[in-house]
Amino acid sequence: MSISLFYLIAFLSIFFSVMVIFSKNPIHSVLYLIITFFTFTIHYILLNAQFLAIVNFIVYMGAIMVLFLFLLMLLNLNEDSEPMKSNLLKIAGVIAGMSLLITLVGSLKSLHISDPVILQTQDLGLVKNLGKVLFSEFLLPFEVSSILLLVAMVGAVLLAKKDTKRI
């Protein structure tokens, strides 16, 4: 992994995440968030975590962010429908932002900045190794979660189904 490529992608991640915050148009903000998630996918690929890269690409960029984009387009937000922001909300936002800034400065002071993480084993994030761990050490939690998801799907179908006997 090239250090300069890592820092370029890190800079782009930070830049587009700041653009999400400071964009006035909510549609542009969602599009910047999609680009930010894409840079995260590139980071996962650089760190040899292919499964996380694929899941991030399909689930976040492909499903959730498209849902956000369609929702914003359906809401048809404009200046007339936006609520007026009170001064109390602005003061609370400034206090929360300053608290975040103080936390970040304190964290950076205690952090010793060195080179990015270099993996000792190159096959750490492969799907084959994830499957081996998932079906050996974590077999019981995996099966319990699959049963819980099945019960949730059956419950959702039963709740959505109309009762034709009560007419």
Average pLDDT over residues 99-113: 83
162 located within any domain: no
* Per-residue model confidence (pLDDT) at position 11: 93
Greater confidence (67 vs 144) lies with: 144
Provide the domain limits for residue 63.
3-78+85-126
57 located within any domain: yes
10 located within any domain: yes
Q: Determine whether 50 is exposed, middle or buried from the number of CB atoms within 10 Å of its CB (0-12, 13-18, 19+).
A: middle
- Percentage of the chain with pLDDT > 90? 17
141 located within any domain: no
Average pLDDT over residues 16-20: 92
pLDDT band at 122 (very low <50, low <70, confident <90, very high): low
144 located within any domain: no
Instruction: Give the domain CATH number at 98.
Output: 1.20.120.1200
Residue carrying the six token digits 């319990």: 144
156 located within any domain: no
122 located within any domain: yes
**13 within 8 A of 36, measured Cβ to Cβ:** yes
Q: How far apart are CA 33 and CA 91, in angstroms?
A: 26
**11 within 8 A of 43, measured Cβ to Cβ:** no
pLDDT, tens digit, for every residue of 38-80? 999 999 888 888 888 888 888 888 788 778 878 877 776 666 6
140 located within any domain: no
Structural domains of the chain, count: 1
Q: How far apart are CA 2 and CA 151, in angstroms?
A: 46
